Amino acid sequence: MTQTEKDEKYMRMALVEAREAMERDEVPIGAVVVSPRGTVVGRGHNLTEALVDVSAHAEMQAITAAAQTLGGKYLQDCTLYVTVEPCLMCAGAIGWAQVSRIVYGAADDKRGYHTFTSKSPFHPRAEIIGGVLGEECAELMRTFFKSKR
Amino acid sequence: MTQTEKDEKYMRMALVEAREAMERDEVPIGAVVVSPRGTVVGRGHNLTEALVDVSAHAEMQAITAAAQTLGGKYLQDCTLYVTVEPCLMCAGAIGWAQVSRIVYGAADDKRGYHTFTSKSPFHPRAEIIGGVLGEECAELMRTFFKSKR
């Protein structure tokens, strides 16, 4: 499997999470954390409404879950897949966790971290890849927000 | 009581939280969320080691607690007091929660949000006040990190 195929495989898992959020009437964003050996060590989807908690974003759930699975709060060798560009809060958490590879689907020009930052919030050696299954990830968001209008 | 006296009163409560963190060998940062009527609706201190979770910062704990207390995730009329300038993650969470007043003690030029942002992460009308009991808040941090060397 090429790296691109691998990235799409895990992004599809993040999309499964995003669809679960959608079914619960939550903003449809999903995330998975994958170990260097290719094991999913954490997953999550947006649960801000259900948990009455602004911090219950997909990435936060997945990072917390991964830390529990691995028994340590640093995820240096892991890849985080998330269907939408992380917000500032999640980017900060990803930085604290020292995640070394961040792969996201759709860009978010309004709430994504890049709109607010002047300096990378991630680990200095982190690799950031956007646009993986980006259209599919964006479409899910459009469908959700259209249904809310 | 003047506003300054009020701010110092609540910052002292945040300092009580910070000292609790210190006693648990956690980075000594504490936070409280106060309603417009002056009631403490959420409090918390850093618990990243105990919870094995990079996101368990004082502000995150206090915001989550306040949302539970108030039964809603938006804290528009509340003031958040925190002993040290919020990091990027916490600033993002404070923004999502629409906290209207943010009062912090010590500045943090290394990890504080202002080092990373080009645009305010907070609600557009939020008021931000730094330096309340700043020296006391900073001294606690210095003592902690000196003990770690």
Separation of alpha carbons A61 and A57, rounded Å: 6
Instruction: Kindly report, residue by residue over B126-141, the tens digit of the pLDDT.
Output: 999 999 999 999 999 9
Mean pLDDT per 10-residue run, chain A (149 residues)? 96 98 98 97 97 97 97 96 98 98 97 96 96 98 94
Q: What is the DSSP string of A85-135?
A: --BHHHHHHHHHTT-SEEEEEE--TTTBGGGTBSS--S-TT-EEE--TTHH
Cβ contact A29:A56 at 8 Å: no
Test the B interface: residue of A53, A55, A118, A122 with most B CBs within 10 Å: A55
Instruction: Tell me, yes or no, whether B36 lies in a domain.
Output: yes
Distance between A85 CA and the closest CA of chain B, angstroms: 14
CB-CB neighbors (< 8 A) of B73 in chain A: 48, 52-54
Q: Are the beta carbons of B55 and A121 separated by less than 8 Å?
A: no
Residue type (1 letter), B41 = V
Instruction: Tell me, yes or no, whether B61 lies in a domain.
Output: yes
CB-CB neighbors (< 8 A) of A91 in chain B: 88-89, 92
Distance between A121 CA and the closest CA of chain B, angstroms: 7
Q: What percent of chain B has pLDDT over 70?
A: 100
CA A110 to chain centre: 16
Per-residue tokens: B8: 């110092």
Of B53, B96, B119, the CB nearest to A89: B96
Instruction: Tell me, yes or no, whether A83 lies in a domain.
Output: yes
Q: Are the beta carbons of B53 and A71 separated by less than 8 Å?
A: no
Instruction: Tell me, yes or no, whether A41 lies in a domain.
Output: yes
Q: Are the beta carbons of B67 and A73 separated by less than 8 Å?
A: no
Nearest to B87 by CA among B125, B49, B117, B67: B117
Cβ contact B35:B10 at 8 Å: no
Please name the helix (run of DSSP H) or strand (run of DSSP E) that holds residue B103, with its range, or none: strand B101-106
Instruction: Tell me, yes or no, whether B149 lies in a domain.
Output: no
Interface ipTM: 0.96
Domain that holds residue A38: 1-142
Instruction: Kindly report, residue by residue over B106-129, the tens digit of the pLDDT.
Output: 999 999 999 999 999 999 999 999
Q: The pTM is what? A: 0.97
What's the CATH number where B2 sits? 3.40.140.10
CA distances from B86 to A17, A92, B64, B98, B136 (A): 30, 11, 15, 15, 17
Instruction: Tell me, yes or no, whether A149 lies in a domain.
Output: no
Instruction: Tell me, yes or no, whether A147 lies in a domain.
Output: no
Instruction: Kindly report, residue by residue over B38-80, the tens digit of the pLDDT.
Output: 999 999 999 999 999 999 999 999 999 999 999 999 999 999 9
Cβ contact A30:A47 at 8 Å: no
pLDDT attached to residue B148? 87
Cβ contact A34:A41 at 8 Å: yes
Nearest to B84 by CA among B101, B66, B109, B119: B109
Return all residues near A104 (Cβ < 8 A) that are at least 6 apart: A81, A82, A83, A84, A85, A86, A128, A129, A130, A131, A132, A137
Q: Are the beta carbons of A53 and B72 separated by less than 8 Å?
A: no
CB-CB neighbors (< 8 A) of A64 in chain B: 53, 55
Cβ contact A59:A82 at 8 Å: yes
Instruction: Tell me, yes or no, whether B148 lies in a domain.
Output: no
Domain count of chain A?
1
